[in-house]
Chain A
Amino acid sequence: MRILIIEDDPVASAVLQASLRSLGHEFTVAVNGDEGWTRFSADPRRVVISDWMLPGIDGLELCRRIRRRGGDYTYFILLSSQTTSPDNLDQATAAGVDDFLTKPAKPAELKARLHVADRILHYATQVQQLESFIPICSYCKKVRDDKNYWNQIESYINSRTGSSFSHGVCPDCYTDVLVPQMKAIGVVPPAYGQGRGSVPKQEA
């Protein structure tokens, strides 16, 4: 995996880098929160290991910024700290932290955490790919939503994008559907896009 480390303590950083090297991961390193955010913005890594207490932007603020940018499932954020209390954990979870590392990080523990990160990111990618396929009825063109309900395509798109529809008729449907209907009731169909049809004059 490609990982961004954000750690201001040179010893903790060196230990983390050595552990990641031994596990075969690639990484880049930032030494404070501001540099971490700059590096992430320029080249986002899907796994971020950040210290909690950092000069400048701290680990929690960094986490909030990453979440605002990428949503809940695009990135995996591991927060490292020397101690954690239940209050701290709540605060960190609310900021969007995925998991915690107690410093000094033990290689076996790091390996287990990164294994979980890899699985979650893999599943998240699969879900995103599946969501990019929209199930649509071949006949009526209704679309099935994520709650398994079939919706008119207009309401489906409206609910996801907020877009509204202005209903019209395309040239093909005008010719295939409307023209025969107008003829059937005795209306002379105007050319497509030329306004209302007129009733043909009765022959004497």
Chain B
Amino acid sequence: MEPAANTPSPRPSILDAEQLDQLRELPGSGDGTLLDELIEIVVRDVPPDLARLRVMVQQRAAAEVAQLAHRVAGSAASLGAISLRLVLHEIEQAGRKSDWPAADKILATLDQEWAGTRAALLKLSSRPPS
């Protein structure tokens, strides 16, 4: 039986296992692993970026929203955080089109998305969370 046409597409995993495997093979800049370094950067940098993004959306600053969402989406993609990347990409597109109702709607899910991603990343880290 074919699925109904309006069946929502399955929600993607939080993290991309293949991307994480590739990161595990790369050397860190110091004694630790690259993956630990990346998780540390993301856990430190993403919350203030998301707070700025929220303010920019409230201010309807289209270009700034698009640029910041694009950069944070890039961080998420580099770390294999695919569901977070998807949400940020949608905000970026909404910013480009100045589609503020869409941006507000997506923004409402962002904190939850980040919380899930953060928890999943911290499980992978061999360093204690700061």
Chain A residues proximal to chain B, CB less than 8 Å: 8-12, 14-15, 17-19, 21-22, 51, 53, 55, 82, 103-104, 106-107
| Complex Cα–Cα for A91 and B96 (A) | 19
CB contact under 8 A between A82 and B38, given known A9-B78, A15-B78, A53-B67: no
Task: For B42, give its contact among A11, A53, A82 (CB under 8 Å).
Answer: A11
Distance to closest chain A CB from B67 (angstroms) = 7
Chain A residues lying within 8 Å of B118, measured Cβ to Cβ, are none
CB contact under 8 A between A18 and B19, given known A10-B75, A11-B75, A104-B77: no
Are B34 and A11 within 8 A (Cβ)?
no
Q: Which residues of B57-93 are within 8 A (CB) of A?
A: 67, 70-71, 73-75, 77-80, 89
| Complex Cα–Cα for A14 and B26 (A) | 10
Task: For A103, give its contact among B27, B29, B41, B78 (CB under 8 Å).
Answer: B78
Are B38 and A11 within 8 A (Cβ)?
yes
CB contact under 8 A between A14 and B70, given known A103-B77, A106-B22: no
| Complex Cα–Cα for A22 and B26 (A) | 7
Distance to closest chain B CB from A155 (angstroms) = 54
Is B110 part of the binding interface, using a Cβ–Cβ cutoff of 8 Å? no
A-B contact count (CB 8 A): 64
Are B23 and A103 within 8 A (Cβ)?
no
Task: For B45, give its contact among A10, A15, A19 (CB under 8 Å).
Answer: A10
Chain B residues lying within 8 Å of A53, measured Cβ to Cβ, are 67, 70-71
Is B116 part of the binding interface, using a Cβ–Cβ cutoff of 8 Å? no
Are A18 and B41 within 8 A (Cβ)?
no
Chain B residues proximal to chain A, CB less than 8 Å: 19, 22-23, 25-29, 34, 37-38, 41-42, 45, 67, 70-71, 73-75, 77-80, 89
Q: Please classify the interface of chain B as helix (H, G, I), strand (E, B), loop, or mixed, using the class held by over half of its residues.
A: helix
Are B67 and A18 within 8 A (Cβ)?
no
Q: Please classify the interface of chain A as helix (H, G, I), strand (E, B), loop, or mixed, using the class held by over half of its residues.
A: helix
Are B38 and A9 within 8 A (Cβ)?
no
Q: What would be 19 A-B contacts, judged by CB atoms less than 8 Å apart?
A: A9-B74, A9-B75, A10-B75, A11-B38, A11-B78, A12-B74, A14-B78, A15-B23, A15-B26, A15-B34, A18-B26, A18-B29, A22-B26, A22-B27, A53-B67, A53-B71, A82-B70, A82-B73, A82-B74
Chain A residues lying within 8 Å of B42, measured Cβ to Cβ, are 11
Q: Which of B34, B80, B89 has the most CB of A within 10 A?
A: B34
Distance to closest chain A CB from B122 (angstroms) = 16
Are A107 and B22 within 8 A (Cβ)?
yes
CB contact under 8 A between A104 and B37, given known A9-B78, A11-B79, A22-B26: no
Are A15 and B38 within 8 A (Cβ)?
yes
Q: Tell me the nearest residue of chain A to B34, going by C-beta.
A: A18
Chain A residues lying within 8 Å of B27, measured Cβ to Cβ, are 18, 21-22
CB contact under 8 A between A8 and B77, given known A14-B41, A17-B29: no
| Complex Cα–Cα for A22 and B71 (A) | 25
Are A19 and B26 within 8 A (Cβ)?
yes
